[in-house]
Amino acid sequence: MAEENDENMQAVMGLIINGGNAKSSAFEAIAAAKKGDFDTAAAKLKEADGFLVDAHNSQTKMLTAEASGEHAQVTLLMVHSQDHLMTAITFRDLAGEIVDLYKALAEK
């Protein structure tokens, strides 16, 4: 039981850490685009995507365990981690649009 809780906590922390890193990278992409550095902006968006893949892998572990009958206790931390991930995904999507907008403005 303690091992399951440790694995669950690792997955939860994976969501929080990787979600936060993805959001930070996406924000750095916007900052780079604002300065006209579109190569850095693209690299930061790609970096954000990598963090989101890592977060998704943590989430998949949790979902797989649940589907296998290992029901985790839903805690505020778990709910927070899911919220953190969804916010990061939304922010990444929006950052991509903002980078594209800055790029279009720079080309005019």
Q: What span, in angstroms and rounded, lies between the C-alpha atoms of 40 and 44?
A: 6
CA dihedral 27, 32, 36, 86 (to 10 degrees): -20
37 belongs to an annotated ligand binding site: no
Quick check: is 80 catalytic? yes
Q: Are 85 and 59 in contact (CB under 8 A)?
A: yes
Q: CB count, 10 Å around CB of 36?
A: 12
CA 48 to chain centre: 7
Q: Which of 56, 71, 80, 84 is catalytic?
A: 80
Catalytically active residues, by annotation: 80
* Residue numbers belonging to the annotated binding site for Mg(2+): 83
